[in-house]
Amino acid sequence: MKVTETYLKDCFVIEPQIFGDNRGSFLLEYNKKEFAEKTGFTGDFVLGNQSTSQYGTIRGLHLQRGEYSQAKLVRVVKGKILDVAVDARKDSETFGKVFSIELSAENNKQLLVPRGFLHGFSVLEDDSIVSYKCDNYYQPEAEDGVLYNDEELSINWKIPLKDVVLSEKDAKLKTFKEFV
């Protein structure tokens, strides 16, 4: 696997090696030992989630606070998304900085989003399926988030405003300033 650290500290793009022949293809999605050696991440993934979404959907920006904080390993099984990570760790040299990358079933890239980061994605193709592992269990009372269109973060979600689809909950999230 090829591992590239982004300009956000502890946030990595993972590119698995793909083996193909006349039958199809094979890729190793995750190997704990190799992953730890190349990223320094030594947590255990304890939760697996999957969502299916239509073009224009924006999910996020979300995180779990405190002891319920979660690292996530995100990949796309079908379709294409713009995956977004925001460093929300106040003591980090990259605090408040944004990283985004297109993840797709075609490019097979994954994003390791560390604990303390806001995370979200916009759906760039209909019927996109996103799968992600978390290293901690979900706790509703620890849930927090920031509005997708926060002016301070100025994220280009690659979706025209007229096509944006949000949940009621995501439409009511705070600004980054309020969040901090």
Cite the active site residues. 62, 132
> Token pair for residue 159?
């979706």
Maximum CA pair distance of the chain? Answer: 54
- In angstroms, the CA 120 to CA 109 distance is 16
Contact call for residues 16 and 27 (beta carbons, < 8 A) = yes
> Token pair for residue 108?
């097979």
C-alpha distances in Å from residue 175, one per residue of 2, 40, 154, 163, 166:
35, 31, 11, 21, 16
Of 131, 87, 112, residue with least CA distance to 1: 112
- In angstroms, the CA 102 to CA 108 distance is 10
At residue 142, φ and ψ (nearest 5 deg) are -100, 0
